[in-house]
Amino acid sequence: MTKRVVKIPRQEAILISNESRKIHRGAARTDVQPTGGRKVNVSNSRREEPPKRGRAPREPKEPREKTKHPILRALGRTLAMKLETTARMQPCKLTEAFHNYFAVGNLTKCRVHGLDDVPFREEAAQPMKHGERPLAPLGCLDRVYDCPACSGKIVLEDFVLNRAITVERDHASSVIIWNPGQQGAGNMADLGAESWNKFLCVEMGNADSRCIPLASGQSHTLCQKITVGPLE
């Protein structure tokens, strides 16, 4: 009996590339495929989710700017204001003022111009005096200036913040300068002794003997314009 020897050819091995598979965990990924055969998915998940149908995703809305008060807005370097008062029912004597509280770096390093030689009362019961040139506030102030004209301007110079605040008035014959001083501020719950030199009130209006008599149905308009700029 003759034996036949049959040679079986060796099967060729399918080699997969030895290159390292880089898996990106973000949106992009790298699919490494063998040299032959079916595709190999090397993504993090075995099955890719089909895109959802429906409405496109909404873009996030920009957050609204929060304000401490509904009428508080960003202001420029100039602010003009008008206050109209009408005596509807009967005649009256009108006293009024714009109560301007201006922040300063240090009250003792400020100067107020525009009140030179203008008569004033230091509180209501005191006799009339005449203004300095310029006014250098160093402490407690409660002055009502009796201006000869119903229009004019006051300039508050702040040498710490390096700025000048100009207040122009119209139909206003009184200028009120006020600061409670350290002792007075210490007795105020909403202020405090440490804050007395951080502000000065420069108010435009009509007070005391400069009140405005109004007949029934008559109106009066008080005007002011505030401008902020650097020291010259």
Digits of tens for pLDDT over the chain (232 positions)?
A: 555 554 545 544 434 344 444 444 444 444 444 445 555 454 454 555 555 666 666 666 555 554 454 444 556 789 999 999 999 989 999 999 999 999 999 999 999 999 988 998 887 444 456 666 678 887 788 999 999 899 999 999 999 999 999 999 999 999 999 999 888 888 988 888 888 999 999 999 999 889 999 999 999 999 999 999 999 8
Residue 136's contacts (CB-CB under 8 Å, 6 or more residues apart) are 110, 111, 112
Residue 28 lies in a domain: no
Which is nearest to 168 in space by CA: 74, 82, 72, 73? 82
Residue 57 lies in a domain: no
Residue 66 lies in a domain: no
For residue 103, the enclosing domain spans 78-230
Residue 149 lies in a domain: yes
- Name the strand (E) or helix (H) holding 153: strand 151-158
CATH number for position 159 = 2.70.98.10
Please give the tally of structural domains in the chain.
1
